[in-house]
């Protein structure tokens, strides 16, 4: 594996700016967003006004050309304030990675500037009701019709469904399990129907839905990669996105621990702050250790992606970062609820929201059991 990475002074300064922005503009909206379960447009507009929607896109499409490490820094700071907002920051990048890495120049010119400005948002249409972990079992199909493809089928667990106007869609173009899948990019108003929005445990400010295509006509120019290359496009994309889910998990955990530490220093029982209890001190120390270890795995995986993955390590490093960080987030946020006692269990304090939000990071972009399969495959073949 590559060397551990240290942030540059510029990255530390950037982190401080984003931390202040998140505290001022995002954190105040978090509780209400969680309570109403509505997409928080003021938070999205704030990201836009800070030019964060274009952060990690190449300068030739109007973006800032920032690295994946930079993207992780922003994700962590946003997630510490509001996990749903960090997801609205991440989701279009997931949807656009296949365009960036496999789209034609014409397609990049057409869509990336819209994403950078925040005029458009994108979703990732991979999972199906019977093909979640087992991607290659998908049944959504695309059939060639002259210069177009006609897509029929449905996708589930689609983050940002109904908000996004662009959808990356993976569809079966032949019966070959892996080599029979092809990727496309489609615009919502060509016929992407929203069938259902889920009611979820957490991450409530980010809509998750079922989308359906009935004879959705997509020009061949909107194919991403070669015919039959879609499974690899999907995996290549997830390899470059999972580290940022790790960053989100680190942010949620850090946000909860920071809040709990403040609380423990204020809250007195038996005539002294509860922070003076060694039992709680050791739990807090364990939490801080685990968060730091997770953060380092995340930075390392992001740095590998930025280097272009020269030694074919990213798949495993990304899986490690995502699984470890999200397990840490679940553990730490659960402990933070415990630190606050009964108050931690109420929505007057943010830690119960963070605990509910953390749960999703163990599930999406591949369950942590799938991440362990990916790691084991790299270890054992």
- Residues marked active site are found at 365
| Distance of alpha carbon 207 from the chain centroid | 13
Site string for ligand COS, 172-211 (x = CB under 6 A): ------x---------------------------------
Site string for ligand COS, 224-263 (x = CB under 6 A): -------xx--xx-xx------------------------
Is position 364 an interface residue for ligand COS (rule: CB under 6 A)?
A: yes
Q: Which of 135, 249, 316, 330 binds ligand COS (CB under 6 A)?
A: 135
Compute the distance between CA of residue 85 and CA of residue 44 in angstroms, rounded to an integer. 7
Nearer residue to ligand COS within complex by CB, 70 or 239? 239
Please list, in sequence order, all residues whose beta carbon lies within 8 angstroms of the beta carbon of residue 51, skipping any fewer than 6 positions away.
64
CB 163 within 8 A of CB 90: no
Nearer residue to ligand COS within complex by CB, 124 or 167? 124
Q: Which of 7, 50, 136, 150 binds ligand COS (CB under 6 A)?
A: 136
Is position 373 an interface residue for ligand COS (rule: CB under 6 A)?
A: yes
Residue with tokens 């279009």: 92
Compute the distance between CA of residue 206 and CA of residue 342 in angstroms, rounded to an integer. 27
Site string for ligand COS, 280-319 (x = CB under 6 A): -----------------------------------x----
Q: Strands 166-172, 122-125: parallel, antiparallel or unpaired by DSSP?
A: parallel
Site string for ligand COS, 38-77 (x = CB under 6 A): ----------------------------------------
- Minimal distance in Å, beta carbon 231 to ligand COS? 5
Q: Which of 69, 87, 122, 126 binds ligand COS (CB under 6 A)?
A: 126
Nearer residue to ligand COS within complex by CB, 136 or 293? 136
Please list, in sequence order, all residues whose beta carbon lies within 8 angstroms of the beta carbon of residue 66, skipping any fewer than 6 positions away.
55, 56
Is position 86 an interface residue for ligand COS (rule: CB under 6 A)?
A: no
Given the rule CB under 6 A, which of 34-42, 81-89, 109-117, 365-373 is the region that contacts ligand COS?
Answer: 365-373
CB 91 within 8 A of CB 237: no
**330's tokens:** 């679940």
Q: Which of 123, 127, 140, 173 binds ligand COS (CB under 6 A)?
A: 127
CB-based contacts of 19-27 (< 8 A; 24+ apart in sequence) = 19/77, 19/80, 21/46, 21/50, 21/77, 22/77, 22/78, 22/80, 22/81, 22/82, 23/81, 26/78, 26/81, 26/82, 26/85, 27/81, 27/82
Compute the distance between CA of residue 261 and CA of residue 53 in angstroms, rounded to an integer. 32
Compute the distance between CA of residue 174 and CA of residue 177 in angstroms, rounded to an integer. 8
CA-nearest of 197, 156, 179 to 169 is: 156
Q: Strands 223-224, 192-197: parallel, antiparallel or unpaired by DSSP?
A: unpaired
- Binding residues for ligand COS, rule CB under 6 A, total 20
CB 26 within 8 A of CB 20: no
The residue number with the shortest CB distance to ligand COS is: 366
Nearer residue to ligand COS within complex by CB, 126 or 298? 126
- Minimal distance in Å, beta carbon 371 to ligand COS? 8
Q: Which of 68, 283, 360, 370 binds ligand COS (CB under 6 A)?
A: 370
Compute the distance between CA of residue 22 and CA of residue 1 in angstroms, rounded to an integer. 33
Q: CA–CA distance from 315 to each of 309, 310, 374 (Å)?
A: 9, 12, 7
- Minimal distance in Å, beta carbon 130 to ligand COS? 13
Is position 31 an interface residue for ligand COS (rule: CB under 6 A)?
A: no
- Minimal distance in Å, beta carbon 381 to ligand COS? 11
- Minimal distance in Å, beta carbon 14 to ligand COS? 27
- Bridge partners of 209, per DSSP, are 158, 197
Nearer residue to ligand COS within complex by CB, 239 or 352? 239
Is position 366 an interface residue for ligand COS (rule: CB under 6 A)?
A: yes
Residues at the site binding ligand COS, with contacts judged by CB under 6 A = 124, 126-127, 133, 135-136, 178, 231-232, 235-236, 238-239, 315, 364-366, 370, 373-374
């Amino acid at each position: 594996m590559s060397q551990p990475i240290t942030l540059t002074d510029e990255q530390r300064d950037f982190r401080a700016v984003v931390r202040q922005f998140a505290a001022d503009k995002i954190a105040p909206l978090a509780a209400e967003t969680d309570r109403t379960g509505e997409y928080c447009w003021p938070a999205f507009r704030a990201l836009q006004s800070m030019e964060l929607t274009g952060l990690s896109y190449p300068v030739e499409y109007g973006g800032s050309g920032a690295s994946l490490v930079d993207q992780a820094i922003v994700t962590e700071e946003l997630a510490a304030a509001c996990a749903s907002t960090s997801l609205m920051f991440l989701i279009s990048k997931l949807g656009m990675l296949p365009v960036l890495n496999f789209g034609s120049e014409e397609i990049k010119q057409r869509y990336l500037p819209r994403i950078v400005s925040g005029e458009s948002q994108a979703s990732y249409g991979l999972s199906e009701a019977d093909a979640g972990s087992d991607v290659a079992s998908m049944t959504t199909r695309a059939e060639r019709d002259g210069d177009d493809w006609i897509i029929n089928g449905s996708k589930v667990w689609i983050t940002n469904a109904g908000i996004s106007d662009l959808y990356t869609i993976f569809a079966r173009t032949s019966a070959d399990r892996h080599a029979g899948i092809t990727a496309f990019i489609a615009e919502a108003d060509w016929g992407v129907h929203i069938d259902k929005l889920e009611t979820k445990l957490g991450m409530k400010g980010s809509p998750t839905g079922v989308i359906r295509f009935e004879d959705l006509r997509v020009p061949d120019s909107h194919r991403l990669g070669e015919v039959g290359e879609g499974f690899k496009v999907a995996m290549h994309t997830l390899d470059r996105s999972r580290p940022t889910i790790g960053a989100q998990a680190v942010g949620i955990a850090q946000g909860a621990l920071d809040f709990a530490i403040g609380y423990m220093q204020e809250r007195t029982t038996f005539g002294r702050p509860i922070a003076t209890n060694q039992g709680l001190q050791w739990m807090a120390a364990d939490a801080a250790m685990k968060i730091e270890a997770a953060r380092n795995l995340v930075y390392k995986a992001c740095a590998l992606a930025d280097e272009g993955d020269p030694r074919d390590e990213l798949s495993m490093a990304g899986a490690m970062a995502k699984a470890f960080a999200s397990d840490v987030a679940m553990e730490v946020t659960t402990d933070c609820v415990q630190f606050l006692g009964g108050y931690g269990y109420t929505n007057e304090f943010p830690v119960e929201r963070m605990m509910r939000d953390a749960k999703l990071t163990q599930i999406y972009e591949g369950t942590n059991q799938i991440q362990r399969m990916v790691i084991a495959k790299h270890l054992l073949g």
